[in-house]
Structures are given as C-alpha cells and as structure tokens.
Amino acid sequence: MTIAPTECLLQLYEKRHEIEDYKGGVPRWCSGCGDNAILAAVQRLCRDENLRPEKTVFVSGIGCSSRFPHYMKTYGFHGIHGRAFPVAEGVKMARPDLTVFVNTGDGDCCSIGAAHWIHGVRYNMNMTVMLHDNQVYGLTKKQASPTSPLGLKSNTTPQGSYLEGLHPLAVTLGIQNVSFVAQAVDWIPEVLYDILSKAYHHKGFSFVRIVQRCPEWLPKLHEAFLNDPSRIQLLHHANGLKLSSGVSKVYQNQLEHDPANIHRAREIISNQEHIPVGILFQDRSVPCYEDVRHAGEPRTTEYVRSGLEAEFDKFSV
C-alpha cells in the first residue's frame, strides 16, 4: 500500500520511542558510580516525554560525567574542559527548537568553567543542566576539586585540603536572573527522576546539583547519609515536589518549602547536617536570552556572506 509523503512524516513525528531508542554506547563508569543512576533517570525522562532523538542534544565538557553524550543515542557534543555552557548556548541560539541538556562535573563547572557557569545562569537560556557533584576529580584519579570538603586527602592535597568546599547551590542562588535551582542525590532514583522532570518542564536555565557517589576514590564520603535516612531532608510543596507514600515511609525528615522563597532556600542549604533534596527555587517570570535576542531567525546566504566579507575586510592588506 502506498502512503502519502505527508502521512509518512506525520507517522515519524508521532512515533512513540522506547528507552532503547535513547541508549548509546555501553557506559564505562565504575560499578556503583552515581553517573549510572543519572543516565537511567535521563533515559527514562526522554522516553516519558517522547523526545525526538534527532531534536535532542546533550553537551558536556571534560570529566567522568562528561562522557554522558556518548551513552545517549541523540545528538551530542563532548567539548573541552569547562566549555560546556558556551557550546550549549551556541546550539540554543542557532536552533532554539532543539531540546538541550548539559552534563558537567564539579571540576568542569566550578573550576575552569566557573565564569561560563555564572553567565549561563544570568542568560537564563532554556536548557536543563545537571551538575554531577562527586566532590573529587575522578577521571584523573583523585585530586581535590572546588567542592571537596575541608581536610580531604588527595593526590594534590596529601595533607588535606585547606579550604571549605565551594557550595554550588549558594553560588547559583546568588546570581542575577536565576530561575530554577534544585538538588538531588543519586541513591533516591524516584526523587531524582521527579526533580529532573520538573527541571525539564521549566522554561529557562534549570540548574540541578546531583550529589553523587564515587565508589572508586571516595567510597565513604556519603556513608553517613546513606545509612541514616533522617539526614536527607525532602522538600515538598504544591508548587514543588509531591512525594510518594513509599518515599515518605523511608525518608520521614520532610519540610514544606515554597520554591518562590529564595531567602528561605538560602537558609535551607546552609544547614550542613542534612542534605536538602527537592526544588529550592523557581521563578517562571525571568526572560530567556534566546527570546530576548530573537534566536533562530532565518539568515539568507547573502546575509551570511556579507557578514563574512565584513570580517575578512578587517584583515585585508
């Protein structure tokens, strides 16, 4: 039976995708690494939202977390150290119709990429950002990172790190135009998925810090939080997360927190005795940079040629 071309296109567009449609290469992360849990949650999210692989892009820098695009059967850009954000912003400016995710580590984002991170928050472009924070340089085999705790002994700090670790959430909540900030942990998969889903549906720069385990270099760093559920503080609200009965039964330390209250969010993250998990802040009114700059407008051949010629003329002799 012959099918009209328009009908073929319609069927292609409406095709339901299975989780296998998003699985790329076999992950090479260590057994028990939190990156595996994040990958599973993201692949599930792509399936549930039926994201078209050809219109979905994962961008990363350098580090264990930044291997992420290799394991997604979508478009991907594995960039250089600390430069995930400008690459992702360029993709979004050129193609605002694409769904853009960023995977970055605590070194990639908070050290060499810190300036891009700050301005990425300020631009508030519509993308979902996952900070994989294991508090150590894992790929290069245990050096202290910007988020490493005070006293951590590593290859670069054999006597113990001298400074308190940088707090990514405190920094992000202090940047102009911040619009979405959340925190998850890799060992509560249901809540991790729910947080990433909320981040995906937010229009703007959705920043999700994911506290993740590194079983190879820091196997005991989060042991106290794993063994004592009361040290995980789940945030819930009508405008935030709605917790299931199963999760609530295990994690009974809960706090009702309105994500519109940025001052309360800053207070919550200052308590080092607990790991707050949930939506800390959300402001849907912040404009997206790509909308302000009218990204994606058609550019004719003549327009592109004239721009190139103007640049070349600057260097003519």
Report if residue 194 sits inside a domain.
Answer: yes
Contact partners, residue 184, CB within 8 Å, separation at least 6: 191, 192, 195, 196, 208, 209, 210, 211, 277
Q: Express each pLDDT in 171-187 by its tens digit.
A: 999 999 999 999 999 99
Helix axes 34-48, 189-201, angle to 10 degrees: 50
Number of domains in the chain: 1
Query: Where does the pLDDT of residue 1 fall: very low under 50, low under 70, confident under 90, or very high at 90 and above?
Result: very low
What domain range includes position 106?
Answer: 23-313
Report if residue 134 sits inside a domain.
Answer: yes
Q: Please tell me the predicted confidence (pLDDT) of residue 225.
A: 95
Q: Please tell me the predicted confidence (pLDDT) of residue 30.
A: 95
Report if residue 13 sits inside a domain.
Answer: no
Euclidean distance between CA atoms 305 and 303, whole angstroms: 6
Report if residue 153 sits inside a domain.
Answer: yes
- What secondary structure letter does DSSP report for 214? B
Report if residue 281 sits inside a domain.
Answer: yes
Report if residue 14 sits inside a domain.
Answer: no
Report if residue 16 sits inside a domain.
Answer: no
Report if residue 12 sits inside a domain.
Answer: no
Global confidence as pTM? 0.90
Q: How many CA atoms lie within 13 A of 317 on its CB side?
A: 0
- Which of 90, 134, 126 has its CA nearest to residue 108? 134
Euclidean distance between CA atoms 79 and 86, whole angstroms: 10
Q: What is the CATH number of the domain that holds 151?
A: 3.40.50.970
**Length, in residues, of the chain:** 317
